[in-house]
Structure 1
Amino acid sequence: MTPEELSTVVKSVLAEAVEAGELSVDLPENVVIERPKNREHGDWATTIALQLAKKAGMAPRGFAEILGARLEQVAGVERVEIAGPGFINITVDSAAAGELARTIVEAGDSFGHNTALAGRTVNLEFVSANPTGPLHLGHTRWAALGDAIGRLLRASGATVANEYYVNDAGNQMNVFGLSVLSRIHGEDVPEGGYPGEYVVELAQEILAARPDVKDMPREQALPIVRELGYQAQMGQIKDTLSSFGVHFDVFYSEQTLHSEGKVAAAVETLREQGHIEDRDGAVWLRTTDFGDDKDRVLFKADGEPTYFAADAAYYLSKRERGFSEKIYLLGADHHGYVSRLKAIAACAGDDPEHNIEVLIGQLMSIRGAKLSKRAGNIIELTELIEWLGADALRYTLARFPANSPIDVDPELLQSRTNDNPVFYVQYAHARSRNAARNAEAAGVDRESFDAGLLTHETEEELLAHLGRFTSVVASAAELREPHRVARYLESLASAYHGWYAVCRVAPSVSPDGVQDPVTDLNRTRLWLNDATAQVLRNGLALLGVTAPERM
């Protein structure tokens, strides 16, 4: 019996009590089931009586006793105890608990998926690095976290589009084009240009495709070089993201906001909402109406749009494309964007507490990482992947809250010890697959299953951990906190290693090579072993990390 199933049972029992006139209260949307801090108090606990008793006009303990009496009659519930002012502690019988192993194996890759966010449509924007250079250390954290958040949202029933906003408008693209063009002519990049060997490589690539640009007047060659350099650099960015296991559904061009008239249209939409002000020849958005520290210019007095105008148009484009919820994942140097983006949403008539969410990630550093010879003054993501591995990087970045700084120890990530969290979890999966292979070689199969045989204390502990997975996924998605899944996997791996040490899946073999007979306990333990492997695999997949069969 999973916590989700038990939640449904408690809600059903509550409805029966209301229908019978024993309680008078509106039914809640869901009932939270949690693990008690002390396992002696039962397998699961709920505080629903404490939450609803006042509305029912009675003492919480009396409310709990009514529910407890009905819960004791439910198949699979062994014992119900009322503690303190009204805590309901529930112990399920071993067969009901053990059935979870079969449920997980039969559900396969879908186990852990839930409907907590069903019906919600989310635009998730992250990374969005300028297409003027390679992805680097500063982009790495959001690439890992953003992709993991998207996976969690989908697993919890939301419709999600991972989006990369391509900053392909503005002066930085001209500077980029001039830098590449200078290298084509064998010259140093202009002051304020983009240094690094990658610019030389782009110049060589463009010359190979278009040798005629070197003989053109520079004003004629510049737009060609700029476009070819941009396309080549975006191609490299996409290849790097792919090697990191990060997928985007949309690459949205900033330039299209201008070329398709969306910036001007956005200003008119905001004007209709009553928050536009024409002042000193410029067009202003009164973002101070909604908590920003100052009003923002959309169009300057010379008629040129500002970056903020593009931000407003981009927000509105997301709404026009059907995304009721917009999540922005921004770097540590973007704290000032939070109030202005929320002000845009409010000025557009949206609810800034519901329609937009801005997450700020803190800096990460890696001890011993060297600046890229190719890129000059940065540490490239491709080099980090080659050095530490995509799995180690992604898992490490996922296991810390986004708002906490990280100093990554490369020696730890490369170690094959239990002190290395990603190794510890991946090894648990590999060990489970090895146990399954050994069991198969000994003649153990899953043709029979007797949940009531899973009575060892380590089996009860392992099943309890497995039962938490779906709720962990749902809460991690709701809170945008992938680290909850990582920390859960580590506790599950610990429980599995503890069980593996004392409970055999394959029959014992005597010193003279005689194997004990295969029993239903062996077969049932194989189900539990494979269920654990499935949850480890599913959890790692949500973090974009592989689950190796052998290590």
Structure 2
Amino acid sequence: MYDLINESFTQARELVMNAMGALVAEGVFPAEAVPAFNIEIPADSKNGDVSTNAAMVCAKPFRNAPRKIAEAIVGKIVTEGSCFEKVEIAGPGFINFFYNKGWYASVVKAVLDAGADYGKTEFGKGKRALVEFVSANPTGPMHIGNARGGAIGDCLAAVMEYAGYEVEREFYINDAGNQIEKFGKSLRLRYMQICSEAGQAIVAKNLDLDAFCKEIYGEDGNRPEFPMPDDVYLGMDIIAHAKNFFDEYGMIASAQPEEDCKKALVDYALPKNIQGLHDDLAKYRIEYDTWFRESTLHNDGSVAKVIEQLKASGYTYEQDGALWFKTTEFGDEKDRVLVRDNGIPTYFVPDIAYHYNKLAERKFDKAIDIFGADHHGYIPRLKAAMTALGVDAKKLDIVIMQMVRLVKNGETYKLSKRSGKAITLNTLLEEIPIDAARFFFNLREPNSQFDFDLDLAISNSSQNPVYYVQYAHARICSVIKKLKEEGVEAKAFTDEMAEALNTSEELELVKLMATLPTTINDAAKAYDPAKVTKYAVDIATLYHKFYNACRIKGEPENVMQARLSLSLAVKQIIANILGMLKINCPESM
């Protein structure tokens, strides 16, 4: 694996420590323990390529001014054999290192040699991670929140794979519990309405499905002839399922007992909804390793088993006929009900059983969930349950995702015309390119709110970040094609070519190229794919800047070849990043 930034940090630390050791041996500094010190990339490149505050943190143990300490350390540093050309002191005692030409050459070589593997690291090597995301309620279509969650979850999984983890993607299907009961009730009510005299009058009009649903639905989902209670789903998708069931089976189910009728309708509609989730997510370029059904936890006894395990843990008690979990002992604001007084477990119990399955039974090293902001308070409860069950709660990580505001012409945009219903994933992908959706939803860290500009997402301009990055790749492809037409082929990059890279645009580009492995590790640590999209925009920006400042064609051979190799390396990096994010990487635009 190529991580030349980390290697340079290691070299800088060794040079400083060796210098300190020599100074202590000579009696210049007392033999005191050296405090931890930072090695970092300074914000301003004028302050070197790598910088350390070692002299400042040693002021107390060495009983000397930081500047004096820095001068003594620098006086003992020998850069020969390292990746540094020189070392300088700045301000109160910062020690700044500057790369030599050999280091720049090694970066370009590393990218070209590694090819499609450049950027991959071993940060998570040997560890298994399960990323669970979207997990939308199967009783209806996916909304805009699921669109962001899908992009974040899938791209986070890809980042973690790049960081060396063995990753699995999982969708948790809530096919049991209250929402399925509500789904069945909603379907039956709409079905019975269709079977009614008023419903049959509409059936007789032979309307297409969309028009039929709109007529039954009314203006707000509650047309007077077809009243609906508050505790049901009012979406037109419910009417569509009921109408399709009617078209296939007629009125036969209307004569059945209520529970039998509801079951027949759920058995008919739920598989279609789940298939719809499959199809919409596949269109969004998301493929899961596992679709995990909640019902399996009830059917295989896992829910009952976890209740008994929690009882045995000593963290439960009975009150008013219900079974309670002592979550207050883990910092929660109040205890939580596990089993209601009617003997039915709350939704919390299968969630506990599901996460126990992930960590204790399937033994993932990391279980990562992408949750909406409204689930923030749920996290400590879930971690408390894991601890009570003897599972290391640190293995469970929750990424909180904020909602996104869609904006068009500077105003909040609602795609639905009826009663403010949620914007669906499918509708969004009809409005904007999939590339833009996946990139835009990862432009900010998950826990940040931002406006998704629909006009910008479809624009072919440098203001559109995904277009800007793709155009950088296409521009490089165009350069290579034109040179090839003139008989110019790229040669193997050499140290001599590196000597020709002298402009600030060239050197800054190489330094940024070297940071990709570090960026991947940082994104994996923070569970934040936005670090990678930001990197992609940054490298495209520096390439466009380089392209405008540094000619390739018509320059002396060594300069032309050096810049051509630099372009090929940037092309490879952009292709790697966009491939990781499942975004198209065009060769012409």
Question: TM-score, normalised on structure 1?
Answer: 0.88
Match of 1:327 in 2: 368
Structure 2 counterpart SS, 1:549: coil
Contact 1:135/1:237 (8 A) holds in 2? yes
Match of 2:295 in 1: 255
1:167 and 2:167 correspond: no
Counterpart pick for 2:484 among 428, 437, 440: 440
Q: Which amino acid aligns with 1:129?
A: A
Contact 1:94/1:455 (8 A) holds in 2? no
Contact 1:196/1:376 (8 A) holds in 2? no
Single out whichever of 289-298 and 67-76 deviates more from structure 2. Answer: 67-76
Q: Which amino acid aligns with 2:8?
A: L
1:196 and 2:235 correspond: yes
Q: In the TM superposition, what are the counterparts of 1:46-125 in structure 2 within 5 Å?
A: 46-47=52-53, 62=69, 65-66=72-73, 69-70=76-77, 72-84=79-91, 86-125=93-132
Contact 1:197/1:374 (8 A) holds in 2? no
Give the drift of 1:205: 5.2
Q: In the TM superposition, what are the counterparts of 1:399-438 in structure 2 within 5 Å?
A: 399-438=443-482
Match of 1:497 in 2: 544
Match of 1:524 in 2: 562
Contact 2:71/2:89 (8 A) holds in 1? yes
Contact 2:34/2:58 (8 A) holds in 1? no
Q: Which amino acid aligns with 1:6?
A: S
1:389 and 2:397 correspond: no
Contact 1:25/1:52 (8 A) holds in 2? no
Match of 1:475 in 2: 522
Match of 1:146 in 2: 153
Match of 1:5 in 2: 7
Match of 1:280 in 2: 320
Contact 2:11/2:82 (8 A) holds in 1? no
Q: In the TM superposition, what are the counterparts of 1:450-489 in structure 2 within 5 Å?
A: 450-489=497-536
CA distance in 1, matches of 2:560, 2:529: 35
Structure 2 counterpart SS, 1:522: helix
Change in CA separation of 1:379 and 1:220 when aligned onto 2, cut-off 3 Å = same
CA distance in 1, matches of 2:58, 2:264: 68
Change in CA separation of 1:363 and 1:7 when aligned onto 2, cut-off 3 Å = same
Give the drift of 1:167: 0.9
Change in CA separation of 1:67 and 1:544 when aligned onto 2, cut-off 3 Å = farther
CA distance in 1, matches of 2:562, 2:369: 46
Contact 1:284/1:296 (8 A) holds in 2? yes
Match of 2:47 in 1: 41
Q: In the TM superposition, what are the counterparts of 1:11-22 in structure 2 within 5 Å?
A: 13=15
CA distance in 2, matches of 1:213, 1:154: 52
CA distance in 2, matches of 1:288, 1:279: 15
Give the drift of 1:376: 8.0
Single out whichever of 401-410 and 369-378 deviates more from structure 2. Answer: 369-378
CA distance in 2, matches of 1:50, 1:74: 26
Cα shift readout 1:162-204 (whole Å, capped 9, x = no counterpart): 2222111113213323434555562558534333343344345
Larger Rg: 2
Cα shift readout 1:84-136 (whole Å, capped 9, x = no counterpart): 45533111122421331221122122111112233433222221111011111
Give the drift of 1:288: 0.4
Change in CA separation of 1:394 and 1:232 when aligned onto 2, cut-off 3 Å = same
Contact 2:70/2:95 (8 A) holds in 1? no
Match of 1:515 in 2: none
Question: TM-score, normalised on structure 2?
Answer: 0.83
Q: Which amino acid aligns with 2:400?
A: I
Give the drift of 1:305: 0.8
CA distance in 1, matches of 2:235, 2:514: 52
CA distance in 2, matches of 1:36, 1:197: 57
What is the number of residues matched between the two proteins?
A: 540
Change in CA separation of 1:528 and 1:26 when aligned onto 2, cut-off 3 Å = farther
CA distance in 2, matches of 1:64, 1:314: 59
Counterpart pick for 1:176 among 183, 188, 195: 183
Q: Which amino acid aligns with 2:358?
A: K
CA distance in 2, matches of 1:115, 1:403: 27
CA distance in 1, matches of 2:127, 2:179: 36
CA distance in 2, matches of 1:106, 1:212: 68
CA RMSD of aligned residues (A): 3.2
Structure 1 counterpart SS, 2:422: coil
Structure 1 gap ranges (5+): 509-517
Cα shift readout 1:237-293 (whole Å, capped 9, x = no counterpart): 111111112232222211111111111111222233321223333221101000011
Contact 2:13/2:39 (8 A) holds in 1? no
Match of 1:548 in 2: 586
Change in CA separation of 1:535 and 1:68 when aligned onto 2, cut-off 3 Å = farther
Identity of counterpart residues, as a percentage?
Answer: 34
CA distance in 1, matches of 2:536, 2:144: 26
Cα shift readout 1:431-456 (whole Å, capped 9, x = no counterpart): 12211212222222222322222112
1:233 and 2:273 correspond: yes
Give the drift of 1:3: 0.8
Contact 1:183/1:189 (8 A) holds in 2? no
Give the drift of 1:306: 0.9
Structure 2 gap ranges (5+): 26-30, 196-225
Structure 2 counterpart SS, 1:453: coil
Contact 1:433/1:550 (8 A) holds in 2? yes
CA distance in 2, matches of 1:67, 1:240: 60
Contact 1:213/1:221 (8 A) holds in 2? no
CA distance in 1, matches of 2:550, 2:456: 30
